[in-house]
Chains A and B, each alone.
Chain A
């Protein structure tokens, strides 16, 4: 077991191409929020994408059952990754492919360049692939003198603009139609034209890119899944651009990562059911294609030579770590669409390839926590990402664990750590804690009782610069709860005395079994374990009902918590 400490040893290796600005997340975010137009676009996306996803999920019928099934298959595939990878490799070779393994970004890039050079290729048509964004393939090939054209419309737009994707599914969603119009007028030498409608823009890109498809000598695509049993790879698109890349040029290179492998065709399409609904709210994308290799003898078209490059780039390290659940990610972008932070600041603020909740976990794992320690803090712990994640990844838990690592390794600002240390000390001294909070609350109550809120407060300008801070009610929850319990106890004792005086004592005290939803009587509450063993698994997984006479404190404290899961294993901290 390793923590991110093990992963950080190779910081900076393998990613010389990308200027990573994850550590200035706060500044990036602040800057992003200065543009009211962009903010409005992001707000709209954050409003609509969840609606589409929910509708698609509802119409499916048994979405959660599907989610659990695919998760189990994915976990099974990762547990036996060497077995399935080997099977895939054998089948792919038999299908006539060349199969390459790449340990890191540089290895993938140089493998691809070598293939292009073997064919003296100059023109490359490329389908959308986050993996090649991760390795910076385009820049690498460009430096070697190749002309690479992105053919997914969104990727094409940001390539022309010299930008990086702001979203893993819709890379150019941060740009307005007006900006794209200006961009096309500047980049395409096509004379005077209006380009007033979105359809005009799409039409122009279509005709410009058609030329590239027909001329390209090499096509490069990614893969949404690799199928072990038959060596096919699955490609999911709506535009059909990936298929043009896969069918028209004479050489096809599929760039993907080893964790995409699934056992059977059925598993790939089961995952597809989750992916498409979560990504765009469709039931099925327009084009879902499975490619096995080069042109067959009787075929009249298709590539003459096909290569599959399987990238590791720390996936095996992640698999051996406590963050291995992250490998279940199917890259749908649902966590981005549902994240309040992503909606506020957009994808570029995250400063690398993958944004949003999944990016805040992947970036530290794929680069280093040192380079991206701000990202795990870009989280309100609202839990919405985990709720919608089709792969059922406990994203907020993983983010919290990264924050834990960050504090432990002294990567966060010293002011934060001092605050944490003070809080930790206080939390371990309940008497002092209660005294101090009681004192603080009373002071605030007295100071704010006239207006009921504060417009300004020392140390809390971050809050009060935006809105008033409500004044507390005079007593802390604990002290109110304690006095309530004292009263109840006194009442119970009084009642017991009264009944003992009128009726003879029965043998045993009755033990009630609590039904779900039944109010817990005060006398039962006293049966609760005083100090539940934190290592003890929560008494059940989500979904089952509580019918125990001594309800676990965890499930009682969070009766409808986002994830009624057992606590995560954290063995890596020594």
Chain B
């Protein structure tokens, strides 16, 4: 054995550890069971997800179908910028939305300096943490998640899962089909920092505002209930 750092590290790790066949190791790991997950703040998945989004200092809206989702985006843009412009990732799901119905003018691509709003289409939403998941690629340029001032996320209710374990299950199905993406991003709130005297400030480097629109079948009172439960 040549004494490279690699081989000596492996040798020392082997010596200090317990020798076992891979099958036995896998079996031992399996025997440790599963991690408990966090209690949900509400029984309904969509409500629980929205409570956690609000607790993560995001804002949230519901849209029953594609038309109202577009409408919701338009309202958000108008409310904040008196404008109908924004940048969206090159995602087929976003391209197919009826933008013209609401007069929104999306530019598909990567956020450039001076463009304050970006829209992402979420691969998943996790009720346990109030996080949305995106996979890197053409549909999700890094600049859109990380450099815009306002980050809007559209999440279809069919993509909502209870906990992080269920999220991994879905991600595994997708990577088996499409290969491993370069990055998997769990996003849960606007960029924040408490580094100065422990005071929470938003917009440390990335978005100052994070807005999630839940699209699909959601109980009518869910949004109201979520706001109440989150105390906002």
When chains A and B are docked, how far (Å) is the Cα of A232 from the Cα of B180? 9
How many residue pairs, one in A and one in B, have C-beta atoms under 8 Å apart? 255
- Interchain CA distance A78-B14 in the complex, whole Å: 10
B182 & A295 in contact (Cβ 8 Å cutoff): yes
Contacts of A379 in B (CB 8 A): none
- The residue on B at minimum CB distance from A71 is B32
Q: Of residues 217 to 260 in A, which have CB atoms within 8 Å of B's CB atoms?
A: 230, 232, 238-241, 243-244, 246-248, 258
| B32, B56, B181, B182: residue with the most chain A Cβ atoms closer than 10 Å | B182
Q: Does A22 contact B (CB under 8 A)?
A: no
Evaluate contact between B12 and A316: CB separation under 8 angstroms.
Answer: yes
* Contact among A85, A201, A266 for B164, CB-based, below 8 A: A266
Complex contact B137–A69 (CB within 8 A): no
For B131, the chain A residues whose CB sits under 8 A away are: 284, 288
Interface contact A72-B32, CB-CB below 8 Å: yes
CB-CB under 8 A from A198, the residues of chain B are 196-197, 199, 201
- Checking A61, A81, A265, A317 against B17 with a beta-carbon cut-off of 8 angstroms, the contacting residue is A81
Separation in Å of the B152 CB from the closest CB of chain A?
16
Query: Interface stretch among B63-71, B75-83, B184-192?
Result: B184-192
Say yes or no for A479: interface residue by CB 8 A criterion: no
B110-147, CB < 8 A from A = 110, 129-131, 136-138, 141-143, 145-147
User: Which of B147, B179, B187, B204 lies in contact with A153, CB distance below 8 A?
Assistant: B204
Partner of A319, one of B13, B130, B171, B179: B13
Complex CA gap A300/B181 in Å reads 13
From A59, A154, A206, A294, give the contact of B195 (CB < 8 A): A154
* Size band of the interface chain B makes with A: 35 or more
Query: Is A240 a contact of B206 with CB atoms below 8 Å?
Result: yes
Knowing A266-B164, A316-B13, say if A240 contacts B183 (CB, 8 Å): no
Closest to B37 in A: A273
Q: Known: A172-B195, A290-B184, A299-B182. Is A273-B38 also a contact (CB below 8 A)?
A: yes
Does B201 contact A280, Cβ atoms closer than 8 Å? no
Find out whether the CB atom of A287 lies under 8 angstroms from the CB atom of B193: no
Closest to B57 in A: A286
CB-based contact B180/A199 at 8 Å: no
Q: Which of B21-29, B95-103, B216-224 contacts A (4 or more CB under 8 A)?
A: B21-29
The A306-328 residues at the B interface (CB cut-off 8 A) are: 310, 312, 316-317, 319-320, 324
- How far apart are the CA atoms of A295 and B155 in the complex, in Å? 26
Is residue B231 contacting chain A, with contact meaning CB distance below 8 A? no
A284 in contact with B194 (CB, 8 Å) = no
- Whether a CB of chain A sits under 8 angstroms from the CB of B6 is yes
Residues of B within 8 A of A240 (CB): 146, 191, 204-206
Partner of A292 from the list B6, B10, B180, B185 (CB cut-off 8 Å) is: B180
* Residue pair A176, B197 in contact (C-beta under 8 Å): yes
| Closest-CB distance, B114 to chain A (whole angstroms) | 13
Q: Is B211 an interface residue (CB 8 A)?
A: no
> Complex Cα distance A57/B22, Å?
35
Is residue B43 contacting chain A, with contact meaning CB distance below 8 A? no
Partner of B138, one of A61, A171, A298: A298
Binds B, one of A100-108, A391-399, A516-524, A539-547: A100-108
Lowest 4 CB-CB distances: which A-B pairs, in order? Answer: A270-B35, A316-B12, A247-B142, A154-B195
Apart from the given pairs A273-B164, A299-B138, 16 other A-B contacts in the complex at a CB distance below 8 Å: A153-B193, A157-B196, A177-B196, A198-B201, A210-B205, A230-B175, A241-B205, A273-B35, A273-B38, A284-B56, A284-B186, A285-B188, A296-B137, A316-B13, A319-B17, A320-B15
Listed A/B pairs (16) with beta-carbon separation below 8 Å: A66-B35, A69-B36, A76-B32, A80-B25, A86-B10, A107-B5, A283-B56, A284-B188, A286-B56, A291-B182, A296-B181, A298-B137, A301-B110, A302-B136, A316-B16, A320-B12
